[in-house]
Amino acid sequence: MGRLMSPSKKQARKKRLSVRFRATLRRRLLSGLLVVVPLGVTLYVLHFLYAFTAGRLTPIIRDLSGPLPDYAVPLASVAVLVVAVYLIGLVANVVVGRKVIALFEAILARIPLVKTIYGASKQIVQTLSFQNGDENFKAVVFVDFPRPGMKALGFVTGTIDIEGEGEHYKVFVPTTPNPTSGYFEIVPKDRASEADISVEEAVKFVMSGGLLAPESLMVSPDTPPGGGSETV
């Protein structure tokens, strides 16, 4: 017959099983929350945006559309909203439209509460649309900022020739977590190191305060944007 386990060993074994069970339960719950919470927040935000925008057009579309199926009314509302936003953007890109919008914003800027709400919401939209800056930014680089030995991510917007010193990069160094503000630096080419990440990845890096950082970076010292790279 096998040896009987002493009461103290049985108690220790039960304690180990209990600890292991609680750890496994906690791990599974956290894994589930990592899936459910972002999904729930996403659905809530989409529902809020729909109710705040296209949802307000639904009663009008339903009255004007006639015998449209119920599922088609929300789709028609979204389509009308997209067309309206596109037309507004089209107008905003012409000279007359820009002047009208500038005049409208100047009027809003004189209203105490309205200017705060409008300015904050406009800044949020600009922050979100900043991720589409691939056409404006040539490359992502590391520069010594705010002092030598400390690195900051910067976006190359072009080059400029300084008489007697040669060609320099024009670099925008964004702030965290709002990348729409920052610092403009004119950096010698040999003081900038190209980071082998896309503009979108760099924006996520900055906006998250480094939380959404790649596991490793490819950095190319003294290399023009678009050149080769080496691992550091």
- Parent domain of 146: 136-231
Please indicate, yes or no, if residue 172 is contained in any of the structural domains: yes
Residue 109 covered by a domain:
no
Residue 124's closest CA among 207, 55, 219?
Answer: 207
Residue 14 lies in a domain: no
Q: What total of structural domains would you count in the chain?
A: 1
pTM for the predicted model, two decimal places: 0.47
The whole-number pLDDT of residue 228 equals: 46
Does residue 141 fall inside a structural domain? yes
pLDDT tens sequence for the chain (232 residues) = 445 666 677 777 777 888 888 888 888 888 888 888 888 888 888 888 788 777 788 888 777 777 777 778 888 888 888 888 888 888 877 777 778 888 888 888 888 888 888 887 777 676 656 555 555 677 889 998 888 888 888 999 888 998 888 899 999 998 887 777 889 999 998 888 888 888 888 888 888 888 777 777 766 655 545 444 444 4
Identify whether the C-beta of residue 154 lies closer than 8 Å to the C-beta of residue 139. Answer: no
Q: Is residue 55 part of a domain?
A: no
pLDDT of residue 73: 80
Backbone angles phi, psi at 71, to 5 degrees: -70, -20
Which residues are 155's β-sheet partners? 140, 172
Q: Residue 82 domain-assigned?
A: no
- Looking at residue 130, what is its pLDDT? 57
Question: Do the Cβ atoms of 114 and 107 come closer than 8 Å?
Answer: no
Query: Does residue 119 belong to any structural domain of this protein?
Result: no
User: pLDDT, tens digit, for every residue of 133-175?
Assistant: 555 677 889 998 888 888 888 999 888 998 888 899 999 998 8
What pLDDT was estimated at residue 31?
84
CA dihedral over 42, 43, 47, 50, signed as positive or negative: positive
Give pLDDT, residue 229.
47
Q: What's the pLDDT score for residue 82? A: 87
- Bridge-based pairing of strands 182-188 and 192-195 is unpaired
One-letter amino acid at 211 equals L
Phi, psi torsion values for 100, nearest 5 degrees: -65, -45
